[in-house]
């Protein structure tokens, strides 16, 4: 059975797919003061495939490989029909990243520190990268996202804390979260400006304030 997840990055929805069976994760407490059941989002996730999942296509692995082998053309990687509004400096950086690139190509790798300098991808880039797989693990006080890329770990604190003052900018930033019904809401600040929003090459500054809303579709 395939289960799907939808996540909102900067209030834009990105569709992903999940492969393992899910088990309910709820509190064993009952009666007054019992903890509210939380949605079970645990599992291994990957970029949503456009091709049907069969015994044949499962051998292909990730979406980029499957689509290439089966001749399926995915949505454009860049040059969207409606580009997000960007500040002048960001528009110039994005324009430079798209020079010589087709609509289904990554942004110029020589201008991307994650390629040219072998630096980590940022959280949005990892979540939207169709060639990446990650595992989501839920605990009472935190949620962990474990990525196949360089064994990167993203930690989301769920214990009610806020963002610390003077937090140094890092590749993953500082993330806090809470559950709103069936949705995990993640708030992240403290990101450095060395990563991109996505593989297409959209840039961001270190003032980026990221809000994601993650829930299961079925």
- Per-residue pLDDT tens over the stretch 172-208: 999 999 999 999 999 999 999 998 888 888 899 999 9
Residues 6+ apart with CB under 8 A from 50: 63, 67, 72, 74
Residues 6+ apart with CB under 8 A from 217: 3, 4, 5, 6
Residue keyed to tokens 């834009």: 12
Q: Which two tokens stand for residue 136?
A: 């989501």
Mean pLDDT for all residues in the chain: 74
pLDDT of residue 17: 32
Q: Are 188 and 166 in contact (CB under 8 A)?
A: no
Given pLDDT bands bounded at 50, 70 and 90, which one contains residue 62?
very low
Q: Which two tokens stand for residue 166?
A: 């003077």
Per-residue pLDDT of 105-128, as tens digits, reads 778 888 887 777 788 888 888 887
Lowest mean pLDDT among 51-55, 88-92, 180-184, 212-216: 51-55
pLDDT of residue 201: 87
Distances in Å between the Cα of 193 and the Cα atoms of 8, 169, 185 are 20, 8, 23
Specify the DSSP class assigned to residue 36.
Answer: P
């Amino acid at each position: 059975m395939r289960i799907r997840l939808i996540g909102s990055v900067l209030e834009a929805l990105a569709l992903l797919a999940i492969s393992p069976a899910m088990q309910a994760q709820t509190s064993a407490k009952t009666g007054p003061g019992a903890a509210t059941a939380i949605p079970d989002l645990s599992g291994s996730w990957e970029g949503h495939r456009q091709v049907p999942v069969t015994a044949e296509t499962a051998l292909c692995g990730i979406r980029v490989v499957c689509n290439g082998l089966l001749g399926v053309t995915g949505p454009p990687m860049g040059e969207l029909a409606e580009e997000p509004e960007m500040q002048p400096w960001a528009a110039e950086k994005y324009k430079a990243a798209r020079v010589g690139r087709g609509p289904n190509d990554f942004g110029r790798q020589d201008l991307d520190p994650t390629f040219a300098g072998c630096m980590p991808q940022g959280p949005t880039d990892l979540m939207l990268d169709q060639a990446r797989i990650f595992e989501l693990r839920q605990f009472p006080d935190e949620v962990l996202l474990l990525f196949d890329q360089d064994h990167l770990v993203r930690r989301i604190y769920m214990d009610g804390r806020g963002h610390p003052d003077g937090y140094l900018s890092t590749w993953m930033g500082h993330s806090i979260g809470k559950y709103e019904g069936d949705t995990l809401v993640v708030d992240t600040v403290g990101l450095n400006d060395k990563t991109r929003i996505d593989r297409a090459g959209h840039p961001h500054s270190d003032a980026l304030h990221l809000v994601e809303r993650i829930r299961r579709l079925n």
